[in-house]
Amino acid sequence: MVYGRVGREIGKDTAISLRPAYVFGNVNSDGSSNNQGAFQMPLTLDLYPNSPVSPYAGVGVATNTDSNGNADAMITAGLDINLVKHLSLSLGLNYIFEGSDQDNRDVEAFTVLYYRF
């Protein structure tokens, strides 16, 4: 996964962030690897962005994780843990609403270590 975060404070205790991600090595609905990627673009509301732990939640769009080329709605939520001044750990969960998949959803959990500047 390649993950990014571009944020802007909108108050003392809130911020808004765009969190693009590209997931490598997708799988088909039957679980077999297809070596295709998926692009995700959620917009989140971040609470207490300068605290040691900052929860976030948001909505966005994702290419279909079963790689049939569709773009689907997604919701996301998680925690950013600010380890040191420029290093954070993000623990998150994505729920993707897939209209063309057999179960009509995908759930993804992720952990990302990222550099903040």
Between CA 48 and CA 26, with CA 7 as vertex, the angle to 5 degrees is 105
Neighbours of 84 (CB within 10 A): 7
Q: pLDDT tens digit string along 71-117?
A: 889 999 999 999 998 899 999 999 988 766 555 678 889 999 988 87
Q: Specify the number of domains making up the chain.
A: 1
CB 72 within 8 A of CB 101: no
Average pLDDT over residues 4-8: 90
C-alpha 58/C-alpha 20 separation (Å) is 12
Q: Which domain holds residue 42?
A: 2-115
Q: Is the pTM of this model over 0.85?
A: no
Position 100 scores a pLDDT of 62
CB 73 within 8 A of CB 95: no
Hey, which bits of 4-104 come out as E strands?
Answer: 6-9, 14-18, 21-23, 38-47, 53-63, 71-84, 87-97
Provide the mean pLDDT of the chain: 86
Q: Which of 8-12, 28-32, 80-84, 107-111 has the lowest mean pLDDT?
A: 28-32
